[in-house]
Amino acid sequence: MILSMTGFGKATMVVCDKKITAEIKTLNSKQMDLTVKLSLLYREIELELRNMIAQELGRGKVDVYVTSESLDSAGAAQLNVEMLRSYKKQLENVSRELSLPEPEDWYTILLRMPDVYRQDVNEEVAQDELDGVREVVRQALKATTAFRTQEGAKLEHFFKGKIAAIQQLLNDIDQYECTRTEKIKARLIEQLEQLEKVDYDKNRLEQELIFYIEKLDITEEKIRLQNHLNYFLETLDGNERQGKKLGFIAQEMGREINTTGSKSNHAEMQKIVVEMKDHLEQIKEQVLNVL
């Protein structure tokens, strides 16, 4: 079962009179691109959390937000009035210097600025609270993996449908194989006969035709493409983290399809090749989302 790199997970728990929330969002990326935003109070376990997240999620663009909200009004964060005053003064100066209108909603603007809440970053955090942060992140990771699994199942269904479509097109090529070489041979002979006063060795012509037609033979390309289709399906049923491998297989499929098109020299076969390419491009696009 493959996993998607697109995921979302959220978990909340109450510990030490605080509501701790962890939220994780993931998108596709070639490598692990991890951003963790959490309170300064929990900085001592940030590296531990990063290692936990990276090990569980593997790769992708991952944004993690860990927040805490005091349920005790006495311990609630206080507005930093001096900081708010400083921000407001700076914005007013910018407004005058750049001839810009002042904000209509000062509260919304100022409360979004950094460090507008007083926090005693030196206060000692209880071990139970740190354990609670670890646990809520684990729960959010579990929810994210479940989301990725669900999306992965959709991708697997999509891939199998596209592979089946390419397989059918590959089978359709066979009906043109028998007549293709005969048509090529007949066309070449007809063109020679249209030339006036040209004498040629029919035995040599037969040898050259055989050589020419062998160069147009696509048997090997068909066999290799069939092997790639089978290998793609086998890889889908392998372990979870197969995205890069599936991408490599799709590239090899493209090589064989392109070579088949260049050798086909047949209108109907070239139409089939175009359809194969269309399905393959959709596969390549979605493979980028596979873990």
DSSP class per residue in 85-122: HHHHHHHHHHHHHTT-PPPS-HHHHHHTSTT-EE--TT
Higher pLDDT, 54 or 112: 54
Alpha helix stretches (DSSP H) within 99-218: 106-111, 127-194, 202-215
Instruction: Look at residue 237 in the predicted model and tell me its pLDDT.
Output: 87
Average pLDDT over residues 159-167: 96
Q: pLDDT-based confidence at 116, cuts 50/70/90?
A: confident
Distance of CA 237 to the CA centre of its chain: 18
Lowest mean per-residue pLDDT among 94-103, 147-156, 204-213: 204-213
Q: Which residues, at least 6 apart from 71, have a Cβ–Cβ distance to it below 8 Å?
A: 14, 17, 18, 19
Would you kindly state where each structural domain of the chain is located, as residue ranges? 78-118, 153-287
Average pLDDT over residues 225-234: 94
Higher pLDDT, 190 or 120: 190
Q: Which residues, at least 6 apart from 100, have a Cβ–Cβ distance to it below 8 Å?
A: 94
Q: Which token pair is 222?
A: 């068909």
Looking at residue 125, what DSSP letter applies? P
pLDDT tops 60 at residue 92: yes
Q: pLDDT-based confidence at 208, cuts 50/70/90?
A: low
Higher pLDDT, 249 or 217: 249
Q: Which residues, at least 6 apart from 242, have a Cβ–Cβ distance to it below 8 Å?
A: 2, 235, 236, 290, 291
- Return the SS3 of 196: coil
Phi/psi at 116 (5° precision): -90, -5
By CB atoms closer than 10 A (0-12, 13-18, 19+), residue 8 is: middle
H or E stretch at 51: helix 46-57
Distance, in Å, from the CA atom of 91 to the CA atom of 24, rounded to the nearest integer, reads: 33
pTM summary value: 0.73
pLDDT tops 70 at residue 214: no
| pLDDT tens digit sequence for 3-37 | 999 999 999 999 888 889 999 999 999 899 999 99
